[in-house]
Structure 1
Amino acid sequence: MDISEKERRAAIVAFDYDGIVPTIEAFYILSILYSAKRCLDAFDRYDALDKKEENAEELVCIVQEAVGHAAALSRYFWPSPKDKKNQPTLKHLTNKRGEKLRKAFQIDKDSPLFNRALRNAWEHFDERLDEYFLENDAGYFFPSCLLNTHALADDPTGHVFKLLDINEECLVLMGKKFFFAPIRTDVLRVKHKAKDFDSNGSRLSFNEGRL
């Protein structure tokens, strides 16, 4: 399909249907439900694992997996601002889709899922790793997974790659902190909304009020 035809179709969906044609709402609902379930399943595995130093790597990996699924979930509501200069209508469609889903799921910028750093940490991870070492070329580096207080990441001479603060429920990744308890709570809310939509004809609903 050439760009002009894709733009024509995008215009219909964006302007006539606010970004999502009703007959395909189920695909978005089920995709959101999938990401939410994967996120919460990972957190359940984290709960079941002994919080011991010898499990540090596995604990960090599980939480990183959970937060990664949360980041994927976030993109449904706040699409990545990709460069679509030659397809402006498609970009508008993507933005309208995000707006429609935010309205249906009653989610706004107060949500921890809105955190741009949450998404950036998992997008182009290899490039961010390159930049991390360009910006931090001196001090103490900790390449292994750590179980410790997230305050270690505040030391300007200490560069923490991956750290998990069990007491404060905080994951530190390349010096960035992600307090995952609020993330987990909001993902659970989104999951409940998606299940409700799926149980009611796989259609989005726009009733007022948060769960």
Structure 2
Amino acid sequence: MEDMKEYIDRYEGIQPAHFAFYGQAIRFNLESAIASVQFLVQCLEARNAEEDPHSLTDPILDSIQSILIHTASLSKYFWPINKGINKVHKKRAQSLRKAFKIKSNSSIRNKDLRNHLEHLDENLDSYLWSKPIVGNVYPAYVGPEMRRDEVPYHFFRAFFTDSGIFESLGLRLDIQPIIDELYEIYRGESDGENT
């Protein structure tokens, strides 16, 4: 790859014939995230009509986690971890952001989200061993956000229906901007803008 510097620079990290490969990779994560959003909406609507709304807690949290995992994977195409030899990864990412019209302040860029999900096993170890786990412990919660008083609250996965906030091990994310961005990219992809 070192002898390809001239071509990497000329084609800004992606040869024209290779763009379809990136498009397919992005499409997978994007469509998977969108399918999870649609399932989430169905679950939330069903939860409102359900006699036992707790029966949908895991499907709701699973769909949110799926949205976020696919978003984190998607963000790697647009913001790589390292620059690569001859800055190929950096140039490819810049080309893709330009082609998909993604702004540098995009909500899918969230490094905290990426790091949290990619290292969830390690984050869980650190969280559970960093201090005594006392107070209110919720492995899975869906409902309105409760008033936090002096007693600590611990959530492995929680979705607060009144605020749209997802919380996991202290990390809090407003998922609506992420969903909005996913649909913005999806609409552009569906319109054929990015091919």
Per the normalisation by structure 1, the TM-score is 0.79
SS of residue in 1 equivalent to 2:69:
helix
Is the Cα contact below 8 Å between 1:152 and 1:160 reproduced in 2?
no
Show structure 2 runs of 5+ residues with no match.
Answer: 48-52
SS of residue in 1 equivalent to 2:118:
coil
Who is 1:119 aligned against? 114
Is the Cα contact below 8 Å between 2:136 and 2:151 reproduced in 1?
no
2:39 corresponds to which of 42, 45, 57: 45
- Please provide the CA RMSD for this pair: 2.4
SS of residue in 2 equivalent to 1:110:
coil
Per the normalisation by structure 2, the TM-score is 0.85
Is the Cα contact below 8 Å between 1:150 and 1:177 reproduced in 2?
no
The aligned length equals 188
How far 1:22 moved relative to its partner? 0.6
- Structure 1 stretch displaced more, 179-188 or 125-134: 125-134
1:25 corresponds to which of 19, 31, 53: 19
Show structure 1 runs of 5+ residues with no match.
Answer: 1-5, 204-211
Aligned pairs (5 A) from 1:77-92 = 77-81=78-82, 89=85, 92=87
- 1:66 paired to 2:67: yes
Who is 2:170 aligned against? 175
Is the Cα contact below 8 Å between 2:145 and 2:160 reproduced in 1?
yes
Aligned pairs (5 A) from 1:1-211 = 6-9=1-4, 11-49=5-43, 50-51=46-47, 52-81=53-82, 89=85, 92-140=87-135, 142-150=137-145, 157-197=152-192, 203=195
How far 1:101 moved relative to its partner? 0.9
Determine the C-alpha separation between the residues in 2 that align with 1:172 and 1:179. 9
